Amino acid sequence: MSENQTKYTAKDFKSDQEVRWCPGCGDHAILNAIQRALPELHYDRERYAFISGIGCSSRFPYYMNTYGFHSIHGRASAIASGTKSANPNLSVWQITGDGDAMAIGGNHFIHAIRRNIDINIILFNNEIYGLTKGQYSPCSKFGSVTKTSPYGTIEHPFRPGELIIGAQGKFFARSYDGNIKLSSDIFVAAAKHDGTSVVEVLQNCVIYNDKTHEEVLGKENRDDRIIILEHGKKMIFGKDGNKGLALDGLKLKVVTIGEEGYTEDDILTHDAEEMNPGLHMMLVNMQYPEYPVAFGIIRRVKAATYDDQMVEQIAAVQATAKIKCVDDLLNSGATWDVE
């Protein structure tokens, strides 16, 4: 895509619509993060299209002063795929919730990812259906008590990153609502990546699933329970910056530098661009308390995108085609004259 001069501030992306999320909802922060990210991207404002399904999170497009489409539940990936194919010159963003993307929208979601169509999917994961007032989602923790699971769920939750990689995901990153800087940096990277990029943002629903991420993201302990990965950098974390991830056979292991003989050299260096998904899979699957939860860009690998190839294939065929218009077509092949 062609790029222009920076000319926007976050404010330019605010629409005139009153923001209607609950006070304290994590969605507000994510909205801020996107509005902060876009000015970094140098696209003209009219080239953005924000497309969502249904859910609290999916109200998002109304709050963006860009083109927007608040569609129907679960179908945003398909609609966004159509929009991007129809006009590859647009910067297309899908906004979706854990229910919207992974319950009813699961099929379109994995197929968009498989096709590697160049859209940016921001997945607001609050592990609950917010808009319908608190039923469990496919991401709710095992045993969650919700309105439809009064005795606790009996379902194993999806781990979004794992499913995405299983669906041939080429770009996966994780952030959380509270970290606007991290989110906004990741959104910029996601937009710059060619192909489907999925960013899971852990988001707090104050009303129906308050503090679901607290164990990991609570301010107290956060530094010891999360790791923010950066491509090319050592996998180091912790309040004191002395913990790290090392390899133990085929598994990952948390070690403390300077203890049990571990030095910084033993710590793995993050390679987001490795094609083989093995290690990335382990990283997305890390769960507290055994591991810190991984944030940042976990996987970012290059591959042909659907929209580019569509354009190229059409151009290649047209370059040598005999049929240039419908009249040509109608008169092509077997015809005969009646006189």
Partner 1 sequence: MNKKANAVQLDEVTIRFSGDSGDGMQLTGTLFSNASALFGNDLSTFPDYPAEIRAPQGTVGGVSGFQVKFGHKEVNTPGDYCNILVAMNPAALKANVQWVKNGGTIIFDSNSFEPKNIARAGFKTEDPIKELGIEDFNIIPAPISNLTKEAVVGLGMDNKSILRCKNMFALGIVCYVFNRPLSFTEEYLENKFKKKPDVITANKLVLNAGYNYAETLEALTPTYEVAPAEIKKGKYRNMSGNQATAWGLLAASEKANLPMFIGSYPITPATEVLQELAKRKDLGVKSFQAEDEIAGICTSIGAAFAGNFAVTSTSGPGLALKSEALGLAVMTELPLVIVNVQRGGPSTGLPTKTEQSDLNQALYGRNGESPIPVIAASTPSDCFDYAFAAGKIAVEHMTPIILLTDGFLANGSEPWRIPSMSDYPEIKAPIVKEGTKDWMPYARDEEKMARTWAFPGTPGLEHRIGGLEKDKLKGSVSHDPINHEEMTAIRDEKVKRIANHIPDLEVVGPKEADLLVVGWGGTKGHLHTAVNELLEDGKSVALAHFNYINPLQKNVAEVFARYKKIVVCEINLGQFANYLRMNLQQFQYLQYNKVQGLPFTVIELKDHFNKLLEE
Ligand X SMILES: Cc1ncc(C[n+]2csc(CCOP(=O)(O)OP(=O)(O)O)c2C)c(N)n1
Residue type, 37: A
206 binds ligand SF4, rule: CB under 6 A: yes
Cβ within 8 Å of residue 87, ≥6 positions away: none
63 binds ligand SF4, rule: CB under 6 A: no
Neighbours of 244 (CB within 10 A): 23
The entry of partner 1, ligand SF4, a copy of itself, none near residue 206 (CB within 5 to 8 angstroms by kind) is ligand SF4
54 binds ligand SF4, rule: CB under 6 A: no
Which part of the chain contacts ligand SF4 (CB under 6 A), choosing from 173-181, 201-209, 220-228, 300-308?
201-209
218 binds a copy of itself, rule: CB under 8 A: no
Give the one residue of 66, 71, 137, 197 binding ligand X; rule: CB under 6 A. Answer: 137
CB of 96 to partner 1, least distance (A): 13
The CA distance from 100 to 327, in Å, is 45
Q: Kindly give the pairing relationship between strand 293-300 and strand 171-176.
A: antiparallel
CB of 171 to Mg ion, least distance (A): 22
100 binds ligand X, rule: CB under 6 A: yes
313 binds partner 1, rule: CB under 8 A: yes
The residue (of 141 and 253) whose beta carbon lies closer to ligand SF4 is: 141
Question: In Å, how far are 158, 210, 255, 303 from 154, measured between CA atoms?
Answer: 13, 21, 34, 38
156 binds a copy of itself, rule: CB under 8 A: yes
279 binds a copy of itself, rule: CB under 8 A: yes
The interface with Mg ion within residues 89-148 (CB under 5 A) comprises 97-98, 126
What DSSP character marks residue 146? B
The entry of partner 1, ligand SF4, ligand X, none near residue 98 (CB within 5 to 8 angstroms by kind) is ligand X
What's the first-to-final CA gap in the chain, in angstroms? Answer: 54
126 binds ligand X, rule: CB under 6 A: yes
CB of 209 to ligand SF4, least distance (A): 7
Closest by CA position to 50, among listed 41, 42, 38, 39: 38
Applying CB under 5 A, the site for Mg ion has a residue count of 3
The CA distance from 217 to 215, in Å, is 6
- Give the E-state strand segments of 38-196 in sequence order: 48-52, 67-70, 91-97, 119-125, 171-176
138 binds ligand X, rule: CB under 6 A: no
The CA distance from 215 to 225, in Å, is 9
The CA distance from 197 to 300, in Å, is 8
Q: For binding to ligand SF4 (CB under 6 A), which residues are involved?
A: 21-22, 25, 27, 56, 126, 130, 205-208
Q: For binding to ligand X (CB under 6 A), which residues are involved?
A: 54-57, 73, 97-100, 124, 126, 128-132, 137
